[in-house]
Amino acid sequence: MSSMIRLEAVSKRYPARKDSAAVTALSETDLTIDRGEIFGVIGRSGAGKSTLIRLINLLERPSSGRVEVDGVDLTALDASRLRAARRQIGMIFQHFNLLSSRTVFDNVALPLELAGLSRAEIKSKVQPLLELVGLADKSGRYPAELSGGQKQRVGIARALATEPKVLLCDEATSALDPETTRSILALLGDINEKLGITIVLITHEMQVIKQICHRVAVLDAGAVVELASVESVFTRPRAPITRSLLSAATGDDVPPHLRARLSQHPIGGDTLLRLRFSGPHAESPVISRLTKAQGIEVSILHGQVDVVRHASFGTLIVALPVAGDALAAAIRFLESENVVVEPLGYLPASLRAAG
């Protein structure tokens, strides 16, 4: 598959101001996004997500490095050619950015008016877009008369008006309730499938990544710390920040009353492990086989099975009353069963039944 977007050694630095030091928002980043894929970028606030997405259409110009979209080096273009190139890159925003004095139709028509199309040409393009996003009956309404989800659908239609090859989504669902978020993500997936458009989606929510994306880059302090398929990130996360984001999203974090008592050193009680299963292993009796093979009484404190991109994955938090060689043998057995094992710490024996 050919690339649609390529960032080569891209950095963005903001100079020092009188009341603050210089800031490096993105550092020496290499990134390739394939043509037609839905690519997610996730990280906590301040990780550099919004800077990255604004570098793709040069709303932020990189301090160094090269940004290429559909084979064109945007950083080498003059102002006129950059404006033309940006017509191939649509963008939707967290807070919709609609013009309150214009109807739904006229909000979607705005980029076409700016491009100099006739009213007949505009109508021939806007009406099918309103049908695509499910707002054909809202053409004459104003933004104040719409729900948040409807406003975002207008924003999506407007972003598609110039028939872009790339759609950038900057926290496009973070102002919406969960049910509306799911419907907007489903719409974006439908648009990707019907139009073959490349979508780059910035978010701080792993549930958004899980629902729609093919691959995901995890940002931390201005650097890409993990880049893989969504299935791989959910079932075999490598970076600590990825594991932390996953725990918050999947509910597989250690219960607070146990977390407060965890020690990093054996204290004569139980070892706490987080186990991650994927594919057919998510539903196999691995814990039962461990008990039979090692003679270990395992306490399950928390667990669930979920689905990401049609593949099952599961997580368990378990307590094992072993340490040292016996613990090492148990971990080797679990890993031989294709389980990803993450030691979390040690619990006093008195807390074993508390989970």
Q: What is the CATH number of the domain that holds 30?
A: 3.40.50.300
Query: What pLDDT does residue 352 have?
Result: 47
Residues 255 and 339 in one domain: yes
Task: Tell me the average pLDDT of the chain.
Answer: 90
CA distance linking residue 341 with residue 344, whole number of Å: 9
Residue 245 in any domain: the answer is no
Residue 129 in any domain: the answer is yes
Residues 295 and 223 in one domain: no
The percent of residues above 90 in pLDDT, for the chain, comes to 64
Yes or no: say if 193 and 162 are a contact pair by the CB < 8 Å rule: no
Residue 168 in any domain: the answer is yes
- Please tell me the pTM assigned to this model: 0.84
Residue 244 in any domain: the answer is no
- The SS3 assignment for 77 reads coil
For residue 354, pLDDT over 60 is answered with: no
For residue 117, pLDDT over 70 is answered with: yes
Query: What pLDDT does residue 90 have?
Result: 95
Query: What pLDDT does residue 281 have?
Result: 61
Residues 186 and 89 in one domain: yes
Residue 165 in any domain: the answer is yes
CA distance linking residue 222 with residue 271, whole number of Å: 35
Residues 100 and 223 in one domain: yes
The residue among 79, 31, 23 whose CA lies nearest residue 52 is: 31
269 HSE (CA, 13 A, CB side): 22
Residues 148 and 266 in one domain: no
The percent of residues above 70 in pLDDT, for the chain, comes to 93
Residue 112 in any domain: the answer is yes
Query: What pLDDT does residue 227 have?
Result: 97
Query: What pLDDT does residue 355 have?
Result: 41
Say what angle helices 119-132 and 148-160 make with each other, to 10 degrees.
Answer: 130
Residues 9 and 158 in one domain: yes
**β 3-14/23-34 pair status:** antiparallel
Measured torsion, CA atoms of residues 102, 103, 109, 110, in degrees rounded to the nearest 10: 10
For the chain, how many structural domains are there in total?
2
Residue 48: exposure state from Cβ atoms within 10 A (0-12, 13-18, ≥19): buried
Place of tokens 């030091």: 21
Q: Which residues contact 243 (CB under 8 A, 6 or more apart)?
A: 237, 342
- Which phi and psi angles does 22 have, rounded to 5°? -65, 150
CA distances from 339 to 12, 313, 333 (A): 39, 11, 9
Residues 234 and 255 in one domain: no
Q: Is 71 left (phi over 0), alpha (psi -120 to 50) or beta?
A: left
* Dihedral over Cα of 39, 45, 51, 57: its sign: positive
- The SS3 assignment for 7 reads strand
- Mean of pLDDT values over 62-69: 96
Residues 219 and 296 in one domain: no
Residues 89 and 232 in one domain: yes
CA distance linking residue 172 with residue 188, whole number of Å: 11
For residue 186, pLDDT over 50 is answered with: yes
- Mean of pLDDT values over 175-196: 94
Residues 232 and 255 in one domain: no
Domain final position from 238, 272, 291: 238
For residue 284, what are its two tokens? Answer: 């196999």
- Mean of pLDDT values over 179-185: 94
- Angle made by CA atoms 135, 137, 138, in degrees to the nearest 5: 65
Residues 325 and 179 in one domain: no
Residue 243 in any domain: the answer is no
Domain final position from 206, 238, 270: 238
Longest dimension (CA), the chain: 79
CA distance linking residue 217 with residue 56, whole number of Å: 15
- Which phi and psi angles does 203 have, rounded to 5°? -155, 165
Residue 194 in any domain: the answer is yes
Give 215-266 pLDDT, tens digit per residue.
999 999 999 999 999 988 988 888 999 988 887 666 556 767 777 777 777 7
- Mean of pLDDT values over 138-167: 96
pLDDT band for position 304 (50/70/90)? confident
Domain final position from 173, 206, 238: 238
For residue 24, pLDDT over 80 is answered with: yes
Yes or no: say if 112 and 158 are a contact pair by the CB < 8 Å rule: no
Task: Identify the CATH number of the domain in which residue 293 sits.
Answer: 3.30.70.260
For residue 108, what are its two tokens? Answer: 């979607």
Domain that residue 278 falls in: 251-354
**β 198-203/270-278 pair status:** unpaired
Residues 277 and 145 in one domain: no
pLDDT band for position 314 (50/70/90)? confident
CA distance linking residue 315 with residue 318, whole number of Å: 10
